[in-house]
């Protein structure tokens, strides 16, 4: 049967749903963050979004439109604002993301009951019923209101959106409220989610920087640092059945920051680093970046993001592969809206190179680094027109017009899928996915040969 995706954003602002005429798939509820802005701020991210719902929501499955028989959902029956990162975790800056909640579409009519305490009268509950038809449409008897089925834009292959206003405008009030509401959710099994790194290169080892700032020391052939600040560096051989590393405890939350540094060992004795050795301090490493918001039973988790970046350059190629069925948003155009896409298990979501080429075809003249890879024009020259740093005439993104015209960016874009080659090309390469995702970053050879 065909698959579909619905997207809903519930809150003080617009609620959106995306739907296809298919009868099976997933329904995504995207909630605006709840709660006021923390006036004290958080140095490492995570201000609650100032817009949205002002109370938590309980979600129940119903057997029919009356919802006389219902039960709270186990995995996402308790819907809250995304919990801010702890300061010690050094999460990303800005507002917490919207809460995403997924429901499965079975091909049958399905009914859901939303419960919330009335913000004006906390002792009174209000509820509404959402009816999703067997064809993936909105049932006319739904009492969750404000849905505009023609509000969303569309693009080939993505799902259209429905706009939804206030959820409880026609809500039924009840002093009794829902049956045994639980302020918790069932967590996924941590072994079935998270990030796997795989060395599928011809290099005998890859040294993988898991977190922290850029390594100033050069990892030796054992992937240990002789100098510089310590960070978590893992050695991944390309030996059969030993070529993977799985990041532990993904549900605790992980923010890779900008410290994804790689070095490789092409032979058994010779080691090269991810630094341009003839220009000290210039990093040309491939960066596999990720942010996994903490996933706890007492709150709705934040979204998980993944990307492959060639902003600095590259010393290995890479693929981002879905290990389970994923729903993610990505824009694909500068300043464009983010569209919702469905990636079945096994899908290669991002890749470079799509076609292996000789190094001279991948690296513009002067940007090749021996046998090791390529350094970006920004890192090679430090030219503000190519790097677009804050405080320059080329910042913000709308002023960053030089990099897209460079041969460096053109080479990468023409031989890749959904990766980014300069600082403001996140729209092309950043995947914002449902929490509990499982992906593999597969490292592959970046160049076919030196000539």
Q: What's the DSSP call for residue 125?
A: E
- State the DSSP H helix or E strand holding residue 385, giving kind and residue range, or none if neither: helix 384-387
Task: Answer yes or no: are the C-beta atoms of 329 and 341 closer than 8 Å.
Answer: yes
Task: Answer yes or no: are the C-beta atoms of 434 and 328 closer than 8 Å.
Answer: yes
Residue 249: partners with Cβ closer than 8 Å, 6 or more residues away: 190
- Which CATH superfamily includes the segment(s) 190-444? Thaumatin (2.60.110.10)
Q: Rounded to two decimals, what is the model's pTM?
A: 0.84
Task: Answer yes or no: are the C-beta atoms of 170 and 59 closer than 8 Å.
Answer: no
Task: Provide the Cα torsion 62, 54, 40, 252; round to 10°.
Answer: 0
Task: Answer yes or no: are the C-beta atoms of 436 and 102 closer than 8 Å.
Answer: no
Residue with tokens 């220009």: 279
Task: Answer yes or no: are the C-beta atoms of 82 and 68 closer than 8 Å.
Answer: no
State how far the Cα of 345 lies from the Cα of 171, in Å rounded to an integer: 39
How many C-beta atoms lie closer than 10 Å to residue 94's C-beta? 11
Task: Answer yes or no: are the C-beta atoms of 235 and 207 closer than 8 Å.
Answer: yes
pLDDT value at position 21? 52
pLDDT value at position 214? 42
Task: Answer yes or no: are the C-beta atoms of 334 and 427 closer than 8 Å.
Answer: yes
47, two tokens: 């201000």
| Sign of the CA dihedral with 178 first, then 179, 180, and 181 last | negative
- Ranges of each domain in the chain: 3-174, 190-444
Q: Which residue ranges of the chain lie beneath pLDDT 50?
A: 1-20, 23, 35-49, 51, 151-153, 160, 163-164, 212-216, 228-230, 258-261, 266-280
pLDDT value at position 93? 64
pLDDT value at position 178? 92
395, two tokens: 């910042």
How many C-beta atoms lie closer than 10 Å to residue 242's C-beta? 10
State how far the Cα of 209 lies from the Cα of 129, in Å rounded to an integer: 48
Residues in the chain: 451
Encode pLDDT of 228-244 as tens digits. Answer: 444 567 788 888 778 89
Task: Answer yes or no: are the C-beta atoms of 287 and 311 closer than 8 Å.
Answer: yes
pLDDT value at position 381? 86
């Amino acid at each position: 049967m065909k698959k579909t995706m619905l997207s809903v954003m519930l809150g003080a602002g617009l609620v959106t749903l995306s739907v296809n005429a298919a009868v099976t798939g997933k329904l995504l509820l995207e909630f605006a963050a709840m709660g006021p802005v923390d006036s004290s701020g958080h140095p490492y991210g995570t201000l609650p979004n100032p817009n949205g719902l002002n109370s938590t929501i309980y979600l129940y499955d119903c057997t029919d439109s009356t919802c006389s028989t219902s039960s709270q959902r186990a995995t996402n029956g308790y819907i809250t604002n995304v919990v801010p990162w702890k300061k010690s975790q050094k999460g990303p800056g800005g507002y917490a993301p919207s809460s995403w909640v997924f429901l499965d579409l079975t091909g049958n009519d399905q009914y859901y009951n939303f419960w919330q305490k009335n913000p004006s009268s906390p002792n009174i509950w209000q509820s509404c019923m959402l009816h999703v038809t067997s064809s993936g449409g909105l049932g006319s008897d739904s009492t969750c209101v404000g849905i505009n089925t023609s509000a969303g834009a569309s693009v080939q292959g993505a799902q259209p959106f429905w706009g939804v206003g206030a959820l409880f405008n026609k809500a039924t009030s009840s002093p009794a409220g829902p049956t045994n509401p639980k302020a918790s959710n069932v967590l996924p099994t941590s072994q079935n989610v998270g990030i796997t790194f795989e060395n599928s290169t011809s290099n005998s080892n890859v040294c993988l920087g898991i977190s922290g700032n850029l390594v100033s020391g050069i990892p030796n052939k054992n992937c240990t640092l002789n100098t510089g600040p310590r960070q978590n560096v893992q050695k991944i051989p390309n030996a059969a059945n030993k070529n993977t590393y799985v990041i532990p405890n993904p549900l605790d939350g992980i923010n890779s920051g900008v410290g994804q540094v790689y070095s490789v060992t092409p032979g058994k004795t010779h080691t090269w680093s991810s630094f341009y050795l003839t220009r000290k301090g210039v990093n040309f490493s491939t960066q596999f970046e990720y942010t996994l918001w903490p996933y706890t039973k007492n709150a709705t988790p934040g979204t998980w993001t993944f990307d492959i970046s060639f902003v600095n350059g590259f010393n290995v190629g890479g693929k981002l592969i879905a290990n389970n069925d994923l729903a993610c948003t990505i824009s694909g155009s500068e300043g464009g809206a983010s569209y919702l896409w469905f990636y079945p298990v096994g899908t290669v979501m991002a890749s470079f190179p799509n076609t292996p080429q000789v190094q001279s075809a991948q690296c513009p003249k002067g940007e090749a680094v021996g046998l090791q890879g390529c350094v970006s024009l920004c890192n090679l020259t430090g030219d503000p027109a190519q790097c677009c740093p804050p405080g320059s005439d080329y910042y913000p993104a709308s002023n960053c017009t030089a990099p897209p015209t460079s041969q460096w960016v053109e080479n990468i874009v023409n031989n890749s899928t959904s990766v980014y080659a300069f600082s403001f090309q996140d729209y092309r390469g950043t995947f914002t996915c449902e929490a509990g995702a499982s992906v593999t970053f597969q490292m592959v050879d970046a160049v076919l040969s030196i000539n």
